[in-house]
Chain A
Amino acid sequence: MADGGLPVIARFEVRHRNYLAPDGSINRPLPAFASDTDLLTALYRAMMLLRNFDRKAVALQRTGRLGTYAVSLGQEAVSVGVASAMREEDVLLPSYRDNGALIWRGVKLEEILLFWGGDERGNHFSGPVRDFPFCVPVGSQAPHAAGVAYAFKLRKQPRVAVCMFGDGATSKGDVYEAMNFAGVHKLPVVFVATNNQWAISVPLRLQTGCETLAQKAIAAGFIGEQVDGSDVVAMRAAAEDAIAAARDGRGPRFIEAVTYRLGDHTTSDDALRYRSADEVQARWKEEPITRLRSYLVGQKMWSKAQEEQLAAECHERVEAAVERYLATEPRRPETMFDHLYAELPETYAAQRRELAGEGDA
């Protein structure tokens, strides 16, 4: 034998979680929360709102009223499912594509528009005060999450940090460094990798030689689970389990949410340069919103009338937010110095006065 009959000293496994099939039928008994019609329809409503919001945001960008924007099309179940399992006092550390999670946590639509419209006031949002803003340098929020979770542990608070990033981010040392540390200290943190198959134009198979991203948790000493990220019931259930484990002191978890980015990477990307329309078309059959709707309708939990009413509600909410966004008074130029330091050093105060047109003597 090539291995000289050496004994196996460790074996690891990675599980995959899915409840709803793409046609809305169920593959295995649903978790308890799924009998709560209000909750399931709330998840549905949140995903619909996000999709409507995305559509409007793209339209605003195309007409020059918003900057570059990253849509969640096809992956709405991930951020909505995860955020719905969090408590208010937990801390969310989102990537730039997690609008759905922010909205669920109470960030106003106009605040998100302000952010993508290039105004920092969007980050002073109405969500939980300790939540982090969107993180643009990919994966660099993972060490923050470990730090946040360490603070919870030190202060013996039953709170959990939830850190979200993409498949591309899992290639960065930042993410491994954070997971490794979280494993050492059994920190109350949940890492969620949204595996949407693409990091801009780079497909997963060029991102990693691993069979799953979930197995990356094994090297850090905790459980990694692969979840059908287009099944919001699975996402919610996996996040609930992971967050509960973290809260009880059972240490970190890693969730690989396997889904698909149906849209372009951002409004400045053209995905047809690197993937075929056929590939995308095929993936539309798996998308999360139709899937949940089919289930809800099949269970008589959702009606055509409700659907129509929801469409009108979403439209109204988004339009009203856009109005408030567009009506926001511009910031005065000198405010770029505000909140630079707790107290602005005099040297820079002079520059601030210069911007304010208050010319220095």
Chain B
Amino acid sequence: MPEMTLVEAVNLALARAMEDDPDVVVLGEDVGINGGVFRATVGLQTRFGPERVLDTPLAELLISGLCVGMAAQGLKPVGEIQFMGFLYPCIDQLVNHASRIRNRTQGRLTCPMVLRTPHGAGIRAPEHHSESTEAMLAHIPGLRVVIPSSPERAYGLLLAAIRDPDPVVFLEPTRIYRAAKGEVEDDGEALPLDVAFVLRKGRDVTLISWGGMLKETMAAADALAADGIAAEVIDLATLKPYDEITVLGSVAKTGRCVIVHEATRTGGFGAEIAALIAERALTSLLAPVARVTGYDTIIPMARLEHHMMPSVDRIVTAARQACQFS
């Protein structure tokens, strides 16, 4: 199996989906000859033509709205938003149309679209390029929010997202676009949505994260193992709807939970998981649920951004505290 980066796996999945299904259309700013600013769509236009890989005008609301129109007509559009900071004009379309057209027309019209966008900080990008506002999206009924953390899952989950009959926002962790490498077989096999992946088994503490932050989370699990603490690491992968069963099962086993995300804390998705555990697993808890998150501030520009993001140390400290709590 060839080794590739996460962004190459995205490209491979797009190519595979377009090859398999003539209804798949890729659209966005610079996705054509330029292959996207992160090269996620490189080579697709040459292979599938400018009608199926189209460079749109510079208008994000339009990209998401076009996807709704195309999808309601039976195409499977995959829109690209260059950076998450430019996704906000699409919120109107996601909230008011994409996520609810099936429900409001009682199934007469559906919206099998995917909107892809880079997610998160850590690439020393300009302002507005480092957002991780997934909780806002995960709040929208009728939507799916998916975020891979490895090339293998990027390939399998993106294929699943494109084949899914409902709208999916697919968040691609920018920081590990090239840093994450792995073997990916182009077998056209999708991975399941709505299912969390247990990346590492352990009995002492549950670490839950998603996307780019799993890199630090896994490193923290290594450090804890050196201390004799066996951490179970869960990659949530789909945030909406998320796999409550795997979360609750793990916490019931370990009694301790640390949630890690780089998005700001207040109203972050970690709060949702903590609330679920408080409601449904309180009696198995041996320590308070902890959150290691970005701070409640605007994501700083390059020089300070790494202070905003949870470090391996912060995660290890939180997990140790949870284990020492009695």
Q: Does A263 contact B (CB under 8 A)?
A: no
- The answer to whether A339 and B51 touch (CB under 8 A), given A140-B65, A140-B96, A148-B73, is no
Q: Does A30 contact B (CB under 8 A)?
A: no
B66 near A132 with CB under 8 A, answer no
Return chain A residues, CB-CB under 8 Å to B324: none
Per-position 1/0 for A334-361, Cβ under 8 A of B: 0000111110011110000000000000
Return chain A residues, CB-CB under 8 Å to B242: 347
Q: Does A272 contact B (CB under 8 A)?
A: no
Q: Does A31 contact B (CB under 8 A)?
A: no
Return chain B residues, CB-CB under 8 Å to A151: 69-70, 73-75
A93 to B101, CA, bound (A): 13
Determine, out of A49-57, A172-180, A273-281, A308-316, the stretch whose residues face the partner at the interface: A172-180
A339 near B103 with CB under 8 A, answer yes
- The answer to whether A140 and B73 touch (CB under 8 A), given A147-B67, A177-B61, A180-B59, is no
Q: Does A91 contact B (CB under 8 A)?
A: yes
Determine, out of A96-104, A118-126, A203-211, the stretch whose residues face the partner at the interface: A118-126
Return chain A residues, CB-CB under 8 Å to B67: 147
A174 to B63, CA, bound (A): 10
Return chain A residues, CB-CB under 8 Å to B141: 340
Within 136-172 of A, Cβ neighbours of B (below 8 Å) are at 136-137, 140, 142-154, 161
Within 93-127 of B, Cβ neighbours of A (below 8 Å) are at 93, 96-97, 101-110
Closest to A335 in B: B106
B57 near A130 with CB under 8 A, answer no
A173 near B107 with CB under 8 A, answer no
B57 near A177 with CB under 8 A, answer yes
Q: Does B211 contact A (CB under 8 A)?
A: no
A124 to B92, CA, bound (A): 23
Q: Does B25 contact A (CB under 8 A)?
A: yes
Return chain A residues, CB-CB under 8 Å to B165: 341-342
Closest to A121 in B: B106
Return chain B residues, CB-CB under 8 Å to A338: 103, 106-107
Return chain A residues, CB-CB under 8 Å to B75: 151, 154
Return chain B residues, CB-CB under 8 Å to A178: 62, 65
Closest to B166 in A: A341
Classify chain B: how many residues form its interface, as a range.
35 or more
Q: How far is the CB of B218 from chain A (nearest CB, A)?
A: 26
Return chain A residues, CB-CB under 8 Å to B74: 151
A184 near B57 with CB under 8 A, answer yes
A178 to B57, CA, bound (A): 10
Closest to B66 in A: A147
Return chain B residues, CB-CB under 8 Å to A125: 108
Q: How far is the CB of A174 from chain B (nearest CB, A)?
A: 6
CB contact between B93 and one of A143, A153, A181 (< 8 Å): that residue: A143
A339 near B92 with CB under 8 A, answer no
Q: Does B270 contact A (CB under 8 A)?
A: no
A120 near B106 with CB under 8 A, answer yes
Q: Does A129 contact B (CB under 8 A)?
A: yes
A129 to B73, CA, bound (A): 10
Closest to A129 in B: B108
Per-position 1/0 for A2-19, Cβ under 8 A of B: 000000000000000000
- The answer to whether A148 and B69 touch (CB under 8 A), given A143-B61, A177-B59, is yes
Q: Does A133 contact B (CB under 8 A)?
A: yes
A174 near B107 with CB under 8 A, answer no
A91 to B69, CA, bound (A): 11
- The answer to whether A123 and B93 touch (CB under 8 A), given A173-B61, A340-B142, A342-B102, is no
Q: Does B305 contact A (CB under 8 A)?
A: no
A173 to B56, CA, bound (A): 15
Classify chain A: how many residues form its interface, as a range.
35 or more
A339 to B105, CA, bound (A): 8
CB contact between A181 and one of B62, B105, B107, B142 (< 8 Å): that residue: B62
Q: How far is the CB of A108 from chain B (nearest CB, A)?
A: 14
Q: How far is the CB of A169 from chain B (nearest CB, A)?
A: 13
Return chain A residues, CB-CB under 8 Å to B106: 120-121, 123-124, 338-339
Return chain B residues, CB-CB under 8 Å to A142: 65
A340 near B103 with CB under 8 A, answer yes
Q: Does B77 contact A (CB under 8 A)?
A: yes
A153 to B49, CA, bound (A): 14
Within 76-102 of B, Cβ neighbours of A (below 8 Å) are at 77, 92-93, 96-97, 101-102
A123 near B104 with CB under 8 A, answer yes
Return chain B residues, CB-CB under 8 Å to A340: 102-103, 141-142
- The answer to whether A146 and B69 touch (CB under 8 A), given A123-B108, A173-B61, A342-B165, is yes
Per-position 1/0 for B225-250, Cβ under 8 A of A: 00000000000000001101100000
Closest to A153 in B: B51
A347 near B57 with CB under 8 A, answer no
A181 near B66 with CB under 8 A, answer yes
Return chain B residues, CB-CB under 8 Å to A348: 241
CB contact between A145 and one of B64, B69, B245 (< 8 Å): that residue: B69
Return chain B residues, CB-CB under 8 Å to A339: 102-103, 105-107
A146 to B69, CA, bound (A): 7
- The answer to whether A181 and B64 touch (CB under 8 A), given A140-B93, A151-B73, is no
Within 71-107 of A, Cβ neighbours of B (below 8 Å) are at 91, 93
A140 near B92 with CB under 8 A, answer yes
21 sample A-B contacts, Cβ–Cβ < 8 Å, listed by A number: A120-B103, A140-B92, A143-B68, A143-B69, A143-B93, A146-B62, A147-B66, A147-B68, A147-B71, A150-B70, A151-B69, A154-B25, A177-B57, A177-B65, A178-B62, A180-B59, A181-B66, A338-B103, A340-B141, A340-B142, A341-B144
Given contacts A120-B106, A144-B72, A146-B66, 6 further A-B contacts (CB under 8 A): A132-B72, A149-B69, A151-B69, A177-B57, A338-B106, A341-B102
For the complex of A and B, list the 8 residue pairs with the smallest distance between their C-beta atoms, beginning with the closest. A147-B69, A143-B65, A144-B69, A124-B106, A151-B73, A177-B62, A342-B165, A147-B66
Tell me the B residues contacting A by CB distance below 8 Å.
25, 51-52, 56-57, 59, 61-62, 64-75, 77, 92-93, 96-97, 101-110, 141-142, 144, 164-166, 194, 241-242, 244-245
